[in-house]
A and B are shown apart, each in its own frame.
Chain A
Amino acid sequence: GAVVSQHPSWVICKSGTSVKIECRSLDFQATTMFWYRQFPKQSLMLMATSNEGSKATYEQGVEKDKFLINHASLTLSTLTVTSAHPEDSSFYICSASPGTGDEQYFGPGTRLTVT
């Protein structure tokens, strides 16, 4: 149980375009979903926390107009990287939690390359 999927697993896009990444909890309802970014040889850095039906809370230094997060249902959250630039190339990982303070289950990650 507690499976989280992400789609796509990898994507290449051109500079200036937008990319949407989906995160789904397959066998549980996720009250809270988290989006992380991981650069090579670096740790996972939390970008934002989203609760179903409400606006996401972004970490300091993360541009909310560039990284659009939608958590429209209890099983789906999306991250849209708008006007992507090469420096946005990274490994994006989501996690989902049944409730605040509960365990987080991680997705397999999405590797984004912006050319």
Chain B
Amino acid sequence: QKEVEQDPGPLSVPEGAIVSLNCTYSNSAFQYFMWYRQYSRKGPELLMYTYSSGNKEDGRFTAQVDKSSKYISLFIRDSQPSDSATYLCASRGSQGNLIFGKGTKLSVKP
């Protein structure tokens, strides 16, 4: 079992829709969780960073962590065509390294 699992999609939604992206993880010791956005042929950029369980909101983006079910979510409200990208969830390992999911490719249609 991979340490971080993510459905690669692709996911296509109309502009203005609410997008829900999800990951699961297997290591109960993970405490730090991140969501990255990666445009084609570019490096990942950090979107959201959460510690332990709970919600974190930043503009149109909300990150949720449920440690009891080992579930990580990212919600995008009022999605825009510029949100079209691959979204990667990640957890931080014990050595400070990041363990990534496969990424979900999102397409927001105008």
B17 within 8 A of A: no
Q: Report the interface size class on chain B.
A: 20 to 34
Known: A34-B98, A43-B101. 8 other contacts (CB 8 A): A42-B102, A44-B44, A46-B97, A97-B96, A103-B49, A106-B43, A107-B43, A109-B41
Q: From known contacts A49-B95, A97-B96, infer whether A106 and B44 are also in contact, taking CB-CB under 8 Å.
A: yes
Q: Interface majority SS on A: helix, strand, loop or mixed? A: strand
Q: Which positions in A face B, CB cutoff 8 Å? A: 4, 6, 32, 34, 41-46, 49, 57, 91, 93, 95, 97, 100-109, 111
CB distance from A100 to the nearest CB of B (A): 5
B85-110 interface mask toward A, CB cutoff 8 Å, 1 = contact, 0 = none?
A: 00010001001111111110000000
Which of A41, A44, A105 is the one whose CB lies under 8 Å from B100? A44
B36 CB contacts on chain A under 8 angstroms: 106
